[in-house]
Amino acid sequence: DAKTTQPTSMDCAEGRAANLPCNHSTISGNEYVYWYRQIHSQGPQYIIHGLKNNETNEMASLIITEDRKSSTLILPHATLRDTAVYYCIVSRGDSSYKLIFGSGTRLLVRP
Amino acid sequence: GAGVSQTPSNKVTEKGKYVELRCDPISGHTALYWYRQSLGQGPEFLIYFQGTGAADDSGLPNDRFFAVRPEGSVSTLKIQRTERGDSAVYLCASSLIRSSDTQYFGPGTRLTVL
């Protein structure tokens, strides 16, 4: 499975957009990009995933570059409850059961 | 609806003891996963069940760790002769049918081995 690189920590102001980058330069053509987050003392929570096209749901937007070597998770209007560790994971569809978490990005949303 | 539940939420045991950790997946989910998370690290895959059988147990660290899912629903992770290094949060997740479906995680069991 391809490995990912994320900044250790980021912060943003409440109400502003949070843009979390992820590098996955060794991603293969059949690998998806998944984003999960983990709020303190809780289990990871699925946010969004994509293959090639940009994706949007009620939680976030996922922007994948054309060469697929990097992506950005966008929380359009961050709230204090979005403070969490965000994990970018690359996985094949047939073996996505083996989610390989890195250290993630610790996002702090400031009041 | 009800999410994945795990019991107990906290377990403190002594070195050398045997422990069992329980996971109740979301009703109707056929795939079940166990992960382990050490302090400051991301979760680490342990084992994956499809129905009653373990489809992949390559993440189990050694033969002291064993997991079962006899009726294809509830799963139990069993750790024999616990060691201090086993202290971690043990997370369970389930997904609907296929391994590629979204995984939903429980709150975890915090195991402390003294």
pLDDT tens string B31-64 = 999 999 999 899 999 999 989 999 899 999 999 9
**A51–chain B Cβ distance below 8 A for any pair:** no
From the number of C-beta atoms within 10 Å of its C-beta (0-12, 13-18, 19+), residue B88 rates as: buried
Contact assignment for B108 to A101 by CB distance below 8 Å = no
Dist. CA A3–CA A18, nearest whole Å: 23
Whole-number Å distance between alpha carbons of B76 and B14: 20
pLDDT at A44: 96
Per-residue pLDDT band for A6 (boundaries 50, 70, 90) equals very high
The alpha carbons of chain B give a radius of gyration, in whole angstroms, of: 13
pLDDT bin (cut points 50, 70, 90) of residue B98 is low
Are residues A99 and B55, on separate chains, in Cβ contact within 8 Å? Answer: no
Statement: residue A93 has pLDDT above 80:
no
